[in-house]
């Protein structure tokens, strides 16, 4: 499948963004032996990834939007930052943070998360509370 055939999956007229996203993922799975191999670059082009971002955004899966922004040839920081600010996210936000690898997005994320959230995360991951407190103090200077 090429990006031209994938463009048929986004149906703006019927607003079936969930189904469109399903077909984008299915196309990648088929071309990569269910993601055991790399997805060929002609399947997930920037154009296709932008459509996946649009689907996730309209489905209020804002953390997924930020993750997909990392796959673009030039990371779309504006879209990633805007999506991470959204309050009404319908995805498993915390579960997806492990998949953010871009340092700029990670730094932004630590700036917008409340300090109490960071402390809870530190406890969950077994980090020293005093270390996290120190990092928070540095951040607020």
- For residue range 82-136, list pLDDT tens digits in order: 998 887 777 767 777 788 888 888 888 878 776 545 555 555 555 555 555 555 5
Instruction: Supply the pLDDT for residue 112.
Output: 78
Name the pLDDT band for 14 (thresholds 50, 70, 90): very low
Instruction: Supply the pLDDT for residue 4.
Output: 52
Show me where the domains of the chain are located: 2-139
HEC-encoded secondary structure of the chain? CCHHHHHHHCCCCCCCHHHHHHHHHHHHHHHCCCCCCCCCCCCCCHHHHHHHHHHHHHCCCHHHHHHHHCCCCCCCHHHHHHHHHCCCCCCCHHHHHHHCCCHHHHHHHHHHCCHHHHHHHHHHCCCCHHHHHHHHHHHHC
The predicted model scores a pTM of 0.70
Instruction: Supply the pLDDT for residue 44.
Output: 92
Q: What is the rounded average pLDDT of the residues 50-72? A: 93
Position with higher pLDDT, 15 vs 102: 102
């Amino acid at each position: 499948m090429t990006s031209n055939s994938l463009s048929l999956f986004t149906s703006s007229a019927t607003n079936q963004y969930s189904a469109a996203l399903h077909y984008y993922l299915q196309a990648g799975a088929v071309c990569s032996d269910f993601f055991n191999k790399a997805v060929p670059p002609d399947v997930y082009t920037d154009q296709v990834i932008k459509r996946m971002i649009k689907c996730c955004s309209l489905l209020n899966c804002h953390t997924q939007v930020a993750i997909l922004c990392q796959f673009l040839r030039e990371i779309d920081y504006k879209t990633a930052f805007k999506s991470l600010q959204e309050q009404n996210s319908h995805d498993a936000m915390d579960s997806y943070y492990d998949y953010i690898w871009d340092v700029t997005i990670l730094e932004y994320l630590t700036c917008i998360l409340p300090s109490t959230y960071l402390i809870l995360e530190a406890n969950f991951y077994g980090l020293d509370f005093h270390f996290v407190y120190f990092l928070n103090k540095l951040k607020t200077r």
